[in-house]
Amino acid sequence: MVTGETVENVAVKLLQLAVTELPQDVKEALQRAYREEEDEIGKAQLKAILDNVKLAEKTCAPMCQDTGVIIFYVKAGSQVQGLDKVEAALRNATARATKEIPLRPNAVDPFTQKNTGDNTGRFIPYIHWQIVPGDALEITVLPKGGGSENVSALGMLSSGQGIKALKKFVVDTVIKAGAKPCPPTVLGVAVGGGAEIAMNLAKETLLKPLNQPNPDPELAKLEQELREAANSTGIGPMGLGGKTTVLDVKVDYAHRHPASYPVAVVVQCWAARRASARIYSDGKVEYLTHKVK
């Protein structure tokens, strides 16, 4: 049995962890980029990023003023009791975190332009559900910034051109985005399924740690090829030049319709924020992405 109260408290903690402290794999990727960057201005940008990350962690302040639109991924164990309480708990947690941390209010009515003031609204926070075996509830939060989201792209490409069209689309998306998404970015790329399936898969790949290569050797090769291509554009940190345009590229796929070749590229800024925790039936909580004292 999980209680709404536990879920709410854990979700507030996850939001705080996500916006104030990057997971270790992202910090390491930024440190490596700083060590390897040769462009003087590019290196200075990475230095400012690392200083900022350290300061945010130390002062427990959001590392970026854009604390994003809040998206939750929930893996619900089939034996967990109390799942009907989870959605309300996540909404309450989002509103509470907005006041307590604080988060910037980022939920705006697209017709009236009115900001709700607490990051909740119609379908927001968005919740992705997955039912899995077991008696644990795993919650991941992905606060997604607007600058990088604005350059994300979907291409309904020609199935006849296949993988070459995919590669071109990814490179063109990176070049068109230029400085806008706060590079070095992480690219989530997915092909197949259909328009929304590709988009969902691409966004979900952003939850994978940056230091783990794809278990599928073919996809691992494609990821490396795309990473090298993006980094040879010369866009560099903040678009001010250099060899670090992306920290990583993650690829996923679904089988496709014979006539369709949907390719989704979801762009994530350097502040690749995410946080996960697992709540067990006995109330025990395990944080998966961050060390919690």
- Any idea how long the chain is? 293
Min dist. Cβ of residue 191 to other proteins (A): 15
For residue 102, what is the enclosing H or E element?
A: none
Among 124, 171, 285, 288, binds other proteins (CB under 8 A): 171
Q: Is 239 in the site for other proteins (CB under 8 A)?
A: yes
CA-to-CA dists, residue 42 to 26, 190, 226, angstroms? 18, 29, 21
Site for other proteins in 127-146 (CB under 8 A): 145
In sign, the C-alpha dihedral spanning 45, 57, 127, 249 is: positive
User: Within its chain, how far is the Cα of 130 from the centroid?
Assistant: 18
The correct pick among 2, 238, 249, 266 for binding other proteins (CB under 8 A) is 238
Q: Which residue has the tokens 């003087």?
A: 40
Does 168 help bind other proteins (rule: CB under 8 A)?
yes
Residue 61 in contact with other proteins, rule: CB under 8 A:
yes
Residue from 2, 49, 142, 186 binding other proteins (CB under 8 A): 49
Distance CA 62, CA 48 (A): 15
Cβ proximity to other proteins: between 83 and 171 the closer is: 171
Q: State yes or no: residue 147 binds other proteins (CB under 8 A).
A: yes
Span of 8-16, 130-138, 179-187, 211-219 interacting with other proteins by CB under 8 A: 179-187
Q: Are 71 and 124 in contact (CB under 8 A)?
A: no
Question: How far apart, in Å, are the Cα atoms of 246 and each of 70, 89, 250, 267?
Answer: 23, 35, 11, 10
- 64/104 Cα distance (integer angstroms): 10
Contact pattern from residue 198 through residue 237 relative to other proteins, giving x for each residue in contact according to CB under 8 A and a dash for the rest = ---------------------------x---x--xxxxx-
Return the H-helix or E-strand segment holding 32.
helix 24-36
Listed ranges 128-136, 196-204, 252-260, 263-271: which one lies at the site for other proteins (CB under 8 A): 263-271
Give yes or no for residue 182 binding other proteins (CB under 8 A): yes
Ramachandran area for residue 134 (φ above 0: left; ψ -120 to 50: alpha; else beta): left
Where does this chain touch other proteins (CB under 8 A) — which range of 2-10, 195-203, 265-273, 275-283?
A: 265-273
Q: How many whole angstroms separate alpha carbon 31 and alpha carbon 137? A: 33
Candidate residues 241, 254, 256, 288; the one interacting with other proteins per rule CB under 8 A: 241
Q: DSSP letter at 67?
A: -
Q: Which stretch binds other proteins (CB under 8 A): 1-9, 23-31, 36-44, 186-194?
A: 36-44
Residue 62: CB minimum distance to other proteins, A: 5
Contact track, other proteins, 85-124, x by CB under 8 A:
-----------------xxxx---------x---------
Residues in the interface with other proteins (CB under 8 A) total: 49
At residue 86, the 3 state secondary structure works out as: helix
Residue 40's alpha-carbon distances to 43, 181, 222, 236, 290, in angstroms, are 5, 20, 30, 11, 32
> How many other C-beta atoms can be found within 10 angstroms of the C-beta atom of residue 267?
27
Task: Report the interface residues with other proteins, using CB under 8 A.
Answer: 40-41, 44-45, 48-49, 51-52, 55-56, 59, 61-67, 102-105, 115, 145, 147, 150, 164, 167-168, 171, 175, 178-180, 182, 225, 229, 232-236, 238-241, 269-271
